[in-house]
Amino acid sequence: MAHESTKAVVVATIVNAILTVLKFAAGLATHSPSMMNEAAHSLMDTANQTLLYFGLVAGSKPADKDYAFGHGQKRYLWNLWGAIGLFSIGAGLGLAHAWHSYHTLGTEEIPTSLTLFGWNISAISLSFTVLAIALMLDGYSLYVAAKEFLQRMRDDGKTNPISYIGQSDDPTLVAVVLEDVVAVLGVVLAAIGIGLAYWFDNQLWDIVFSVAIALMLGVIGFFLGRVNMRYLTDVRDPQAEATFAQVVREHREIERYHDLRSIIVDEDHTVLVAEVELREEVMIPGLQSLIVEYENRYLDMVPGNRRKDQKVVEYCRARAAAQATIERIETVIEELAAELRARAPRVSHVTIEVEGIATPPNPDVSDTAYA
């Protein structure tokens, strides 16, 4: 998963770095507010995706003495900083430039033709050439990210891409997909604004669509910040908890569970804790034969002249009972944890506490053991 997310981030970063240069050059040459806002848009996307990459690198570090469950949540922190930058700087610069362009409307001469490398080219042709290149490059970046996103969606058994955006456990990939979608929409909006301004000979159209680009950038930045904040506040893993509940239902040694909790550390690691009560009629029959086996084994270790000593016999019997009980409980817990990990591989740490033998259920109370 992380490898594919990294690929999408790297592709998007390279694409946006190239487009930043092209759009700024075209914006400065044509004095187009939409093109300048698109340049700021690509610049912020480049910076944000660089932060996403740093987050992937930092989050991939294993557990150590300071981070017991690994560094996975650093990924969400870097993503949050990127979202804040995208919202405040990108949208703010775009709106500020649109405001400046509106107040200088009609006071600046807008070039209609340019000389580029000895060639005369119209300003509108330059703008649409750059936007066409941007559409192709952003489209390719979106294809790479969307391909991985849709594969993740199918793997999770989902069919609606819109709803899955809010459900995906990989905010990094969601960020790249949304930024690429907005990049494509931004190019379309810029093309409409520049085209209408040229057609009606009125730069106000260009300014209006530059405002739309800036606002769109702000909305996406706010949404991405909200998504990453959710993962930085110890969000639960309902899928892992539901899987644990199903495993318990199918395990004949367990009567009921309670105090089930989970925390998503990152997209590949979930910590789950729970308490269980054992079923008496299943645990006891198999336990007696194991106690006798251990008692005989311990008595065989005692010198022959002491095997008749009542205190020695009682000690061996008590130790055998304790050993057999602990071993039987450990086996049950290991089976639960193994089955849970097999069905939900993301659960990397499981803590199951045994409270003891379940008390008989109250017949006057409805069954809420698995609520």
Query: How far apart, in whole angstroms, are the C-alpha atoms of residue 290 and residue 13?
Result: 62
| pLDDT tier, 355 (very low <50, low <70, confident <90, very high otherwise) | confident
Q: List the domain boundaries for the chain.
A: 2-231, 238-357
- Give CATH for domain 238-357: 3.30.70.1350
The mean pLDDT value for 56-69 works out to: 79
The mean pLDDT value for 42-65 works out to: 84
| pLDDT tier, 121 (very low <50, low <70, confident <90, very high otherwise) | confident
- Give CATH for domain 2-231: 1.20.1510.10
Q: What is the pLDDT of residue 366?
A: 38
For 190, the token pair is 């810029």
Query: How far apart, in whole angstroms, are the C-alpha atoms of residue 295 and residue 313?
Result: 8
- In a 13 Å sphere around the CA of 309, the CA atoms on its Cβ side amount to 11
For 72, the token pair is 């996975």
- Distance from CA of residue 199 to its chain's centroid? 45
Backbone angles phi, psi at 122, to 5 degrees: -75, 150
Q: What is the pLDDT of residue 96?
A: 87
The mean pLDDT value for 221-225 works out to: 84
Residue in the structure block whose two tokens are 């991405």 = 224
Indicate whether this model's pTM tops 0.85: no
Closest CA to 144 of 343, 279, 310, 4: 4
